[in-house]
């Protein structure tokens, strides 16, 4: 398996994103090329991809990690972790997450946060097995219309 930071939105990568994002949920919209370019050029967000079985394989998964400063320190959060449904249970998500954790560590963040739908049983089991701890907190969202 091969994990790397995304530096350009190639045709191959764009096609992979169009294939992978719907697997996050039917309510997720596929980003445009311009949105992906904005993401990879962001100072706070980093997009990672995994190829399987090696650096010559197909793009099997992606994740985004944002690292940002708040008054109490440097924070990081992982978002939109997705591995192709046909390639799951091969360690791809774990390898992506471990790469993101190392990136956050090297950036000076004091930890990595993520959220996950309780219905994603396998994903939640993976997060716990890696060392993420479930937090008892209230999560809020304000939808801007």
Give me the residue spans of the domains in the chain.
2-130
Residues contacting residue 39 through CB under 8 Å, at least 6 positions apart = 31, 45, 47, 64
- Tens of pLDDT, residues 34-86: 999 999 999 999 999 999 999 999 999 999 999 999 999 999 999 999 999 99
Q: Which CATH class is domain 2-130?
A: alpha beta
**Spatial CA neighbour of 65 closest among 11, 111, 120:** 111
Report pLDDT for 55.
97
8 Å CB contact between 120 and 30: no
**Helix, strand, coil abundance in the chain, percent, nearest 5:** 35, 25, 40
pTM: 0.94
């Amino acid at each position: 398996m091969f994990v790397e930071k995304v530096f350009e939105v190639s045709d191959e990568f764009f096609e992979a994103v169009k294939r992978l994002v719907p697997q996050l949920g039917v309510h997720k919209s596929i980003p445009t090329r311009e949105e992906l370019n904005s993401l990879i050029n962001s100072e706070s967000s980093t997009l990672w991809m995994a190829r399987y079985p090696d650096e010559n394989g197909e793009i099997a998964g992606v994740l985004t990690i944002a690292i940002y400063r708040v008054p109490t320190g440097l924070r990081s959060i992982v978002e939109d972790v997705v591995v192709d449904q046909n390639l799951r249970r091969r360690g791809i998500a774990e390898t992506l997450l471990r790469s993101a954790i190392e990136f956050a560590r090297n950036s000076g963040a004091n930890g990595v946060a993520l959220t996950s739908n309780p219905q994603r049983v396998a994903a939640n089991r993976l997060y716990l097995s890696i060392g993420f701890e479930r937090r008892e907190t209230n999560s809020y969202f304000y939808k801007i219309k």
